[in-house]
Chain A
């Protein structure tokens, strides 16, 4: 469920923004709850994560295996249902470093898109162990890496991350 704003809708109330402004601003909120029907392949995908397996889906219109899986192919305009094992190895196709800080003092993170072996698309995830102080993170593009699972996967997106090949004995 996503919210555009947490506060419930209420009547607008006038207030001044700051002493320096001559304008009166009217506050208003909307609470726009959304309830998205889960893609029908997602439960199987998450169940596989619990088993430390990665699944893509084959597009019957062109044979491409897409990761992560979803039940509809926009390019092929068709329903997809054939789940295919991919990874855990793959190639970094691109990545960026998101700086740390902010109000929650979050750590810096490397966000990578990795094309798993057996897949014809790249999927997002965090790259660990490569150092977040690299001068040129793009130097890692083209490097092989692999998905590494936590000891007890829960069946959600936080179950795995990427590590460069050779980084883990």
Chain B
């Protein structure tokens, strides 16, 4: 029996695009905040807490942007802090909002996130700023090469080929067609994935999420109010040295996602979930590359180790399956870094409410697992939501 920690009162997201030249970062936050309050039917004056999810500010080009961008926003005078756990920031910020509400210190906490991916032509350099300066130059400084190493090892261990691995993004892109907020809304085929340019073998361009601009907001209230409830959270902070997580018999978490599995177990324990296959009805997992979705499915206990790719190819985890994963299309179809974890919460909430429109899964879900990953598979976050 789960204990409800807090309630999702309102959600909002802006349609994701590569470029959103008509908005500044402050504009994005203002618009999505307004929409979330409208969804919750809550007056701006009643917001008594504000949390900003913002991954490294180098990508925005304005450090500590809250000094500028929160002006006039609901709850700005009650700003509770900026959360930064890289691409996991949105989910971590949501967790913190639930804590403030659960502690009885606030009743209406607004969580905001936004990203403008196109404002910096030096985006790759900006992201590389947080790589280890003492690592050898050959060490992967970017996500594509780092996750290619993961994918390569996963394929070798489980006897999979590139075709097997392509099912994930094909599923997600098909799901994205029905998501009016998705950046990429064209279905693709396996052949197209395999023919797309190689970023870092075996990762192809169509394996990877695009550069995305977007914004998301969630309004959190106390447990017991009508709405989708947060019932559990768990996380795991790994160490930065990825090579230390590649050793059979010692620590293979970079290859097998066992650290994400620990985060999931922690969340499940709080939420009273002991049989995820039976008790989880859908999952929204952060996966900027297909390999991350497979590792997340296994870490969440939705398939046995190494089986996720085969099950994916057989139609499991599709929108009409027993446990749909990323019915929204996931990060494959758009992923603003700071907001991507929050969008997982939003998409799961919409499904649990029955408000996901054309992408609504057929079987009414009762519970959902959401996950997010920060850094190069270093910070793992899991949350559980219930209708």
Direct A–B contact in complex, judged by CB atoms less than 8 Å apart: yes
* Binary per-residue interface labels of chain B (158-181) against chain A in the complex, 1 for a CB within 8 Å, 0 otherwise: 000100000000000000000000
A111 touches B145 (CB 8 A): yes
A50 to B99, CA, bound (A): 53
* Binary per-residue interface labels of chain B (72-105) against chain A in the complex, 1 for a CB within 8 Å, 0 otherwise: 0000000000000000000000000000000000
Looking at B148, B152, B161, B250, which has the most chain A CB atoms within 10 Å of its CB?
B152
With A74-B240, A120-B250, A124-B139 already in contact, the answer to whether A96 and B149 are too (CB < 8 A) is yes
Nearest CB in chain A to that of B201: its residue: A97
B289-342 interface with A by 8 A CB criterion: none
* From B149, B198, B203, B239, contact of A113 by CB (8 A): B149
List residues of chain A with CB within 8 A of the CB of B239.
74-75
A113 touches B246 (CB 8 A): yes
B67 at the interface (CB under 8 A from A): no
Q: Tally inter-chain residue pairs, CB-CB below 8 A.
A: 124
B138 touches A96 (CB 8 A): no
Looking at A4, A32, A139, A142, which has the most chain B CB atoms within 10 Å of its CB?
A4
The interface stretch among B44-52, B106-114, B128-136, B345-353 is: B128-136
A53 to B137, CA, bound (A): 19
Nearest CB in chain B to that of A157: its residue: B136
Nearest CB in chain B to that of A3: its residue: B125
* Binary per-residue interface labels of chain B (236-272) against chain A in the complex, 1 for a CB within 8 Å, 0 otherwise: 0001111110111010000100000000000000000
A124 touches B244 (CB 8 A): no
Shortest distance in angstroms between B70's beta carbon and chain A's nearest beta carbon? 20
With A4-B129, A28-B61, A138-B155 already in contact, the answer to whether A94 and B134 are too (CB < 8 A) is no
B138 touches A111 (CB 8 A): yes
A126 to B250, CA, bound (A): 24
Count of A residues near B, CB < 8 Å? 47
Nearest CB in chain B to that of A25: its residue: B21
Nearest CB in chain A to that of B129: its residue: A4
Shortest distance in angstroms between B365's beta carbon and chain A's nearest beta carbon? 36
* Binary per-residue interface labels of chain A (58-79) against chain B in the complex, 1 for a CB within 8 Å, 0 otherwise: 0000001011101000110000
A89-106 interface with B by 8 A CB criterion: 93-99
List residues of chain A with CB within 8 A of the CB of B1.
none
With A28-B61, A157-B138 already in contact, the answer to whether A4 and B244 are too (CB < 8 A) is no
With A5-B125, A115-B247, A141-B156 already in contact, the answer to whether A96 and B136 are too (CB < 8 A) is no
Shortest distance in angstroms between B372's beta carbon and chain A's nearest beta carbon? 21
A111 to B246, CA, bound (A): 15
B201 touches A96 (CB 8 A): yes
B136 touches A99 (CB 8 A): no
A98 touches B153 (CB 8 A): no
With A28-B61, A124-B138 already in contact, the answer to whether A141 and B153 are too (CB < 8 A) is yes
Shortest distance in angstroms between A142's beta carbon and chain B's nearest beta carbon? 7
B152 touches A125 (CB 8 A): no
Shortest distance in angstroms between B196's beta carbon and chain A's nearest beta carbon? 12
Shortest distance in angstroms between B24's beta carbon and chain A's nearest beta carbon? 10
B135 touches A124 (CB 8 A): yes
List residues of chain A with CB within 8 A of the CB of B161.
136
A113 to B255, CA, bound (A): 12
A32 touches B21 (CB 8 A): no
List residues of chain A with CB within 8 A of the CB of B203.
96
Shortest distance in angstroms between A32's beta carbon and chain B's nearest beta carbon? 7
A21 to B14, CA, bound (A): 21
Looking at B197, B242, B243, which has the most chain A CB atoms within 10 Å of its CB?
B243
A94 touches B140 (CB 8 A): no
Nearest CB in chain A to that of B203: its residue: A96
List residues of chain B with CB within 8 A of the CB of A120.
244, 247, 250
List residues of chain B with CB within 8 A of the CB of A157.
136-138
List residues of chain B with CB within 8 A of the CB of A115.
243, 246-247
* From A5, A64, A95, A121, contact of B152 by CB (8 A): A95
Given contacts A113-B243, A138-B155, 4 further A-B contacts (CB under 8 A): A32-B58, A94-B153, A95-B152, A99-B200
Q: List 7 A-B contacts (CB under 8 A).
A: A28-B61, A34-B129, A96-B148, A97-B198, A124-B138, A138-B153, A141-B152
Which residues of B approach A to under 8 Å, CB–CB? 21-22, 58, 61, 122, 125-126, 129, 133-140, 145, 148-150, 152-153, 155-156, 161, 197-203, 239-244, 246-248, 250, 255
